[in-house]
Amino acid sequence: MLPEQEQRHVYYDSDLQIEAYNLTGIVQKFPNHFHKYYVIGFVEGGKRHLWCMNEEYDTSAGDLILFNPMDCHYCAPVNGEILDYRAVNIDEVVMKKAVRELTGKEYLPKFTSHVVYQSDITAALDSLYCGIVEHAPKLSKEEAFYFLLEQVLREHCEPTDREQEAEKEDKVSLVCQYLEDHFSENIALDDLADLAQISKSHLLLLFTKHVGVSPYRYLQSYRIEKTKRLLEQGILPADAAFIAGFTDQSHFTRFFKEFIGLTPKQYQKIFKEKAEPETGFAAEVDRNGI
C-alpha cells in the first residue's frame, strides 16, 4: 500500500468525552513520543516492533496495547507489513471519574503491561470503538466503556495517585515544568542544569531515565502538541511554528511530518474538512500515531 493510501481517523465522543481512532494501511515508522492521556488499543493487522519505556515487543493482530500518560514509545514495521490499528484515548480526568464509578475509590490507575498478546479484551475494545463510530445510544456506549475498563483494571492495572506521582524525582519534575512553561523560548541545557542544580551530564541521565526521552525530545514533543492545537484553530503553519518556538520553518515541517506522518498543511486541511455531526460526535485527525 502506498503512503497516500494510508488513512487516519479520530472521532471524539461528547457523551463519554473520549476519542476513538483508527490507523489503516500505515507503513510509517513512528518516532519516540508520548501522550498525556491513557491509550487502550489493539492491532487489527500487520506486525510491528514496539519499544516502550525501555522494553521491546513484537506485536501482531489480536494484541492489546496499553500506554499510561507519559509512557514514551515508538514502533517500526516488521518486513514492511502495513499496520491496521484501533484505539481509544482517555483523559486523566475522565479516567479518574470512571475508576471512581467502578471501584468507589478515586485514583489514577497504572497499566502494568504495555502489550498483552492475543488478549480477549480486544473484543470489548472493538465493541466500544464501533459504538462510538456508529453513533450508538449513550447507554450502549457507557456499558461498553465500563465493561472495557473493568476488565483492564482487574487484569492489567495497579492503583496510583498524585501522592505517588509526587514521589518522582523532584529535579526531573522541576525541569519538565520549566520546559512546559518556557516552551516557546530558546532553552539551553545550561539553563536546565542550573535550575536542577546538577551537572549537565547528570541531568541528561536522570531525566532520560525517569521520563524516557531527553529534555530536547520532551521539549520538541510538547511544542508539536502546541502547534497541533494552533493548526486546529486555523492558525497558519508558519505562525503556529513561530508561536511554539520553532525558529526554522523547514525544520518544523520535517519534524512535524516525522512525528505525525503528515505535513502541517496536510494536518490542517484534513481537520478543516471534518465537520462536527449533529449527534455531538466530532471527528478529527490522528494524535501522534500509536
* Complete domains list, the chain, with CATH: 7-161 (2.60.120.810), 168-273 (1.10.10.60)
pLDDT at 136 > cutoff 80? yes
- Please list, residue by residue across 3-15, b when 16 or more beta carbons sit within 10 angstroms of its beta carbon and e when fewer do: eeebebbbbbbeb
Contact between 8 and 30 under an 8 Å Cβ cutoff? The reply is no
User: According to the model, what pLDDT value does residue 276 have?
Assistant: 47
b (16+ CB within 10 A) / e for 233-257: eebebeebbbebbbeeeeebbebbe
The pLDDT value recorded for residue 210 is 80
Helix (H, G, I), strand (E, B) or coil at 229: helix
pLDDT at 10: 86
| Whether pLDDT at 199 is above 80 | no
Rounded-to-integer distance, Cα 266 and Cα 28, Å = 16
Q: Largest Cα–Cα distance of the chain, in whole Å?
A: 56
Is the per-residue pLDDT at 223 higher than 60? yes
pLDDT given for residue 283 in this prediction: 41
Of the CA atoms within 13 Å of residue 35, those in its CB half-sphere come to 22
Q: Which residues contact 182 (CB under 8 A, 6 or more apart)?
A: none
Let me know the angle formed at the C-alpha of 123 by 119 and 126, rounded to the nearest 5 degrees: 120
pTM: 0.65
User: What are 246-271's pLDDT values in tens digits?
Assistant: 888 888 888 888 888 788 988 888 76
CB atoms < 10 A from the CB of 207, how many? Answer: 25
Out of 2-11, 38-47, 53-62, 274-283, pick the least confident.
274-283
Give the contacts of 249 (CB within 8 A, at least 6 positions apart): 237, 238, 241
Residue 284 pLDDT level (bands cut at 50, 70, 90): very low
Torsion sign over Cα 50, 51, 53, 55: positive
Distance, CA of 31 to CA of 125 (rounded, Å): 25
Q: Please state which of the ranges 41-45, 53-57, 277-281 shows the lowest mean pLDDT.
A: 277-281
Does residue 286 register a pLDDT over 60?
A: no
Question: Pairing mode, if any, of strands 30-33 and 18-26?
Answer: unpaired
Which percentage of the chain shows pLDDT scores above 70? Answer: 88
Q: In angstroms, rounded to a whole number, what is the distance separating the alpha carbons of residues 181 and 226?
A: 12
C-alpha cell at 193: 542544569
Q: How confident is the model at residue 209 (pLDDT cuts 50, 70, 90)?
A: confident
pLDDT in tens, 36-45: 899 999 999 9
More confident residue, 196 or 289: 196
Asked if pLDDT for residue 115 goes beyond 80, the answer is yes
